[in-house]
Amino acid sequence: MEATRLRLLSIAFSLILLLDATTAQMPGFVSLDCGGTGNFTDELGLEWTPDDRLIDGKITNISVANETRKQYQTLRYFPADDRKYCYTLEVISRTRYLVRATFLYGNFDNNNVYPKFDISLGATHWATIVISDANTIELQELIFLALDPTISVCLSNATTGQPFISTLELRQFNGSIYLTQYESQFYLSISARINFGADSEAPVRYPDDPFDRIWVSDSLRKANYLVDVAAGTEKVSTNMPIDVSSGERPPQKVMQTAVVGRNGSLTYRLNLDGFPGFGWAFTYFAEIEDVGNKSRKFRLVLPGMPDLSKPIVNIEENAQGKYRLYEPGYYNISLPFVLNFRFGRTSDSSLGPLLNAMEINKYLKKNDGSVDGSVISSVVSLYSSTDWALEGGDPCLPVPWSWVQCNSDPQPRITKIELSGKNLTGNIPTNLTMLSGLVELWLDGNSLTGPIPDFSGCVDLKIIHLENNQLTGELPSYMAELPNLREL
Ligand SMILES: *[C@@H]1O[C@H](CO)[C@@H](O)[C@H](O)[C@H]1NC(C)=O
Ligand SMILES: *[C@@H]1O[C@H](CO)[C@@H](O)[C@H](O)[C@H]1NC(C)=O
Ligand SMILES: *[C@@H]1O[C@H](CO)[C@@H](O)[C@H](O)[C@H]1NC(C)=O
Ligand SMILES: *[C@@H]1O[C@H](CO)[C@@H](O)[C@H](O)[C@H]1NC(C)=O
Ligand SMILES: *[C@@H]1O[C@H](CO)[C@@H](O)[C@H](O)[C@H]1NC(C)=O
Ligand SMILES: *[C@@H]1O[C@H](CO)[C@@H](O)[C@H](O)[C@H]1NC(C)=O
Ligand SMILES: *[C@@H]1O[C@H](CO)[C@@H](O)[C@H](O)[C@H]1NC(C)=O
Ligand SMILES: *[C@@H]1O[C@H](CO)[C@@H](O)[C@H](O)[C@H]1NC(C)=O
Ligand SMILES: *[C@@H]1O[C@H](CO)[C@@H](O)[C@H](O)[C@H]1NC(C)=O
Ligand SMILES: *[C@@H]1O[C@H](CO)[C@@H](O)[C@H](O)[C@H]1NC(C)=O
């Protein structure tokens, strides 16, 4: 009797645990279904939310053959003007994230003109989105270290068609995954993340990868981006668990498959999006074959880079055991657009090389942004309920806010503020006087009250319009000399 009750209790308890485990989203996951209308959970267990409360723009439905995933059947699009359209997302400062944006055109505008526009992360030009097929998903991914409590992802600079977006995703990393010494000045733009020996063309991602990275199958012959140019390449796999609790923690499922060069070599040609340039390149190895006491030793051979061929890989020895991750790589290596690489057996090795996965990311230099970013943010935060104050991103880069003009310095300064007739109330924000590059200030036709703050530090200020407000007090004497001053 007692025992039965205990068992029932424990069954109930484990059911609760099970439900918890299946509904618990990883912390720091944000999955925006752009243009979507309601929350839903997809077949992977990712929880999608619509983007309607985050941004303006228009939404529409598309229909693309063979695309049944709900998040790709809607999109949000924006006017082809000289503005930028930004999502602002909350992040945890000092934490690394993956941000992923996808674009499925689907001829949403019935125009069959493939759009081309830019995407930026904060002040940094992230990529130019070039649609070249109505039914193919374009995808861009960056790894970044959050330094502020929010990030902005913006679309701008439509050169053809209208800018649009299908999904925007944030995935939070743990511990020191993707830590580099360059991370305060560079983002990592994902170029290749390949699962070798994959048992299908389907990518491996969440929940197999708790960070929802997308590991592309080596059997996917997408535009010949990866070509096996050697004979004797064979797939191997195991069901044994793999210890992946170090380095970048590649998913176990990726490490359970590999390719082996039965004839002594693995040779590939790989197209690296975004390259030539400097990048982060790592290989993921785990011994998953029954090798007995045979040796497996090999070297990486890159044409024109003899120095890189010196280290010898002996997976079992390097990983200190079978079924354990060994992750050698380069934090900063110069790579071409077409990478030819070979792993070759050493003369004293009886087995050919084995490769489970590899990942190559390009360093993308961060733009420091406008000098006035934090000052103008403090001003804008006073008007957080107004549309004009919510444009997001950097005030000047890659294109300025609609009511701002900037100079063309590498780190631009705000030169003009045009807030005429915006229904501003309260005092003129004192922090406006900290915009040292200000030339024109238009605040006329509002309901501003109180005294005029001291603009004498804005030495370039030439035009100031304050008329049609309820300001009080005298015009400061230095202001009376401004040629284009309009009185209170
Ligand atoms: C949708 O999901 C978000 C985030 O999980 C939540 O804040 C919101 O309340 C949900 N909306 C509805 C209608 O359930
Ligand atoms: C998109 O499709 C949904 C469901 O079929 C429908 O409710 C919605 O009105 C459509 N939206 C637009 C903009 O056509
Ligand atoms: C849709 O799927 C079918 C069967 O898998 C395939 O033959 C066809 O090429 C696919 N069409 C598109 C547009 O991908
Ligand atoms: C806009 O895009 C064009 C073509 O891609 C490029 O030449 C130009 O520099 C871009 N402008 C800005 C402001 O980024
Ligand atoms: C993240 O780190 C915490 C603490 O180190 C750990 O408990 C958790 O399992 C990690 N999550 C993943 C997905 O590795
Ligand atoms: C491996 O190399 C041997 C000798 O060079 C050759 O005869 C054989 O065909 C090769 N095997 C494959 C699968 O290419
Ligand atoms: C990588 O190395 C090159 C050449 O030594 C150097 O110019 C560059 O700043 C380094 N770092 C990055 C992130 O590119
Ligand atoms: C290991 O090597 C020894 C001698 O080289 C050989 O006798 C033995 O059969 C090998 N064992 C296995 C499991 O291959
Ligand atoms: C003015 O800006 C600074 C940062 O530049 C900020 O610390 C301060 O709180 C701001 N003052 C007001 C009144 O917003
Ligand atoms: C100006 O602000 C007041 C008070 O918030 C509001 O009632 C009024 O509708 C606003 N007028 C315009 C033109 O935005």
The pLDDT profile of the chain, 488 residues, written as one tens digit per residue, is 444 444 444 434 433 333 343 445 678 999 999 999 999 999 999 999 999 988 889 999 999 998 999 999 999 999 999 999 999 999 999 999 999 999 999 999 999 899 999 999 999 999 999 999 999 999 999 999 999 999 999 999 999 999 999 999 999 999 999 999 999 999 999 999 999 999 999 999 999 999 999 999 998 866 568 998 888 999 999 999 999 999 999 999 999 999 999 999 999 999 999 999 999 999 999 999 999 889 999 999 998 888 888 899 999 999 999 999 999 999 999 999 999 999 999 999 999 999 999 999 999 999 999 999 999 999 999 998 888 888 999 999 999 999 999 999 999 999 999 999 999 999 999 999 999 999 999 999 999 999 999 998 999 999 999 999 999 887 887 777 776 766 65
Q: Nearest residue CA, atom 5 of ligand 1?
A: 49
Binding site membership of 59 for ligand 2 (Cβ less than 6 Å): yes
Please report whether residue 9 resides in a domain.
no
| pLDDT tens per residue, range 204-258 | 999 999 999 999 999 886 656 899 888 899 999 999 999 999 999 999 999 999 9
Please report whether residue 344 resides in a domain.
yes
Tell me the CATH number at 75: 2.60.120.430
Do 88 and 33 share a domain, yes or no? Answer: yes
Residue 13 has a pLDDT of 41
Residue 394 has a pLDDT of 96
Do 153 and 31 share a domain, yes or no? Answer: yes
> How far, in whole angstroms, is CA 366 from its chain's centroid?
13
Domain boundary among 139, 174, 209: 174
> How far, in whole angstroms, is CA 83 from its chain's centroid?
21
Binding site membership of 401 for ligand 7 (Cβ less than 6 Å): no
Domain boundary among 131, 149, 174: 174
- The total of other beta-carbon atoms located within 10 Å of residue 479's CB is 17
Phi, psi values for residue 169, rounded to 5°:
-130, 140
Query: Is the backbone peptide bond immediately before 328 cis, with ω within 30 degrees of 0?
Result: no
Residue 431 has a pLDDT of 95
Do 207 and 346 share a domain, yes or no? Answer: yes
Do 197 and 241 share a domain, yes or no? Answer: yes
Atom of ligand 1 nearest to the CA of 38: 13
> Distance from first CA to last CA of the chain, Å, rounded?
88
Please report whether residue 6 resides in a domain.
no
Do 323 and 225 share a domain, yes or no? Answer: yes
| pLDDT tens per residue, range 352-397 | 999 999 999 999 999 999 999 999 999 999 998 888 888 999 999 9
Q: What is the Cα–Cα distance from 474 to 157, expressed in whole angstroms?
A: 44
Please report whether residue 400 resides in a domain.
yes
Please report whether residue 464 resides in a domain.
yes
Please report whether residue 17 resides in a domain.
no
Question: What is the tally of structural domains in the chain?
Answer: 3
Q: What is the best residue among 66, 68, 135 to mutate for testing ligand 3's pocket, by most ligand atoms within 8 Å of CB? A: 66
Do 412 and 324 share a domain, yes or no? Answer: no
Do 74 and 139 share a domain, yes or no? Answer: yes
Please report whether residue 36 resides in a domain.
yes
Do 355 and 379 share a domain, yes or no? Answer: no
Do 37 and 164 share a domain, yes or no? Answer: yes
Do 317 and 213 share a domain, yes or no? Answer: yes
Domain boundary among 315, 330, 365: 365
Do 200 and 136 share a domain, yes or no? Answer: no
Q: Would you give the DSSP letter of residue 184? A: T
Q: Nearest residue CA, atom 7 of ligand 9?
A: 378
Residues framing ligand 1 (Cβ under 6 A): 39, 49
What are the CA-CA distances from residue 17 to residues 10, 45, 421 (Å)?
10, 16, 57
Binding site membership of 363 for ligand 7 (Cβ less than 6 Å): yes
Residue 229 has a pLDDT of 87
Q: Which domain holds residue 476?
A: 373-481
Do 412 and 467 share a domain, yes or no? Answer: yes
Please report whether residue 18 resides in a domain.
no
CA 412–ligand 1 middle distance (angstroms): 39
Residue 188 has a pLDDT of 98
Q: Nearest residue CA, atom 12 of ligand 2?
A: 60
> How far, in whole angstroms, is CA 365 from its chain's centroid?
14
Tell me the CATH number at 463: 3.80.10.10
**Which residues, other chains included, contact 286 with Cβ-Cβ below 8 Å and sequence gap of 6+?**
242, 244, 255, 258, 315, 319, 322, 323, 324, 325, 326, 356
Residue 385 has a pLDDT of 82
